[in-house]
Amino acid sequence: MDFFAKFFKIVPVSGVSVLHVAKPYAEKQRSICGLLMPKLPPKDYVKSVDWPPQLTLQPIGWVRSPYTERHGTPRQAQLSETPADYEPAIAQIELFTDVVPAIALKDLAGFDYLWVIAWLHLNQHWNPTVMPPRGPRVRRGTLATRAPHRPNPIGLSATRILRIEHPVIHVEGIDFLDRTPVLDIKPYVPYCEAWPLAKAGYVDLAEAAIAAETDIFGQAGHPLRPPSPSA
């Protein structure tokens, strides 16, 4: 009983007996815990892994598109406004089942649009400047354009989801060639990925100069559509 009284004390609280640990014993326990479990400094996760000078990427699927050559392929997958007679191409994002199981697409059907991140494997070279196909004939820095020839030929395309039938995602509107390797897909989320009033540099100047891209194929228009009489 003397041992119990040395370390513990029963204190009545609102008619209920509560067991308290005696202060000297509690401090002793904290001291022991401090010796056995020292406080570790914050871990620097940035330095815990070596920086990779090279990366290895594995396609998770490919694009099945009606386009098989660069000429005649849309330069953009989507535009805010399109001609009344424009019919976007129907394509498929075909995923590899040994990489992406069906459960990985759970809840994707609730989104209207999809980001497709692809590897533009046909582009083997790049230049630091390019001449955009619309606006003044001025060379621009490649990284300030959407040119497909880049240091790493990564393509980004927003396409509309029609339906999902694993391992295939049926989409509407695509600007990738057939068999383009797909690196990843992500849902398009309007609240954090749409800034209608954002500045767009020289693109804004081209719009103001009535060089607006009224056709998804660019100012040249649809490759199979005859030019208008006013052209």
DSSP tag of 41: P
Q: What is the pLDDT of residue 231?
A: 46
Q: What is the pLDDT of residue 228?
A: 53
- Confidence at 81, pLDDT banded by 50, 70, 90: low
Q: Which amino acid is at 173?
A: G
Question: Does residue 193 have a pLDDT over 60?
Answer: yes
Cβ atoms of 78 and 175 closer than 8 Å: no
The domains of the chain, with CATH numbers, are 2-36 (no CATH), 61-190+198-208 (2.40.30.70)
- Confidence at 44, pLDDT banded by 50, 70, 90: confident
What is the DSSP code string of 116-129? Answer: EEEE-TT-----SE
Question: Does residue 14 have a pLDDT over 60?
Answer: no
Question: Does residue 72 have a pLDDT over 60?
Answer: no
Q: What is the pLDDT of residue 13?
A: 53
Question: Does residue 59 have a pLDDT over 50?
Answer: yes
Q: Any residues with CB less than 8 A from the CB of 9 and at least 6 apart, and which? A: 19, 20, 21, 22
For residue 124 the two structure tokens come to 């083997």
What pTM, to 2 d.p., does this model score?
A: 0.69
Residue 82, Cβ neighbours under 10 Å: how many? 15
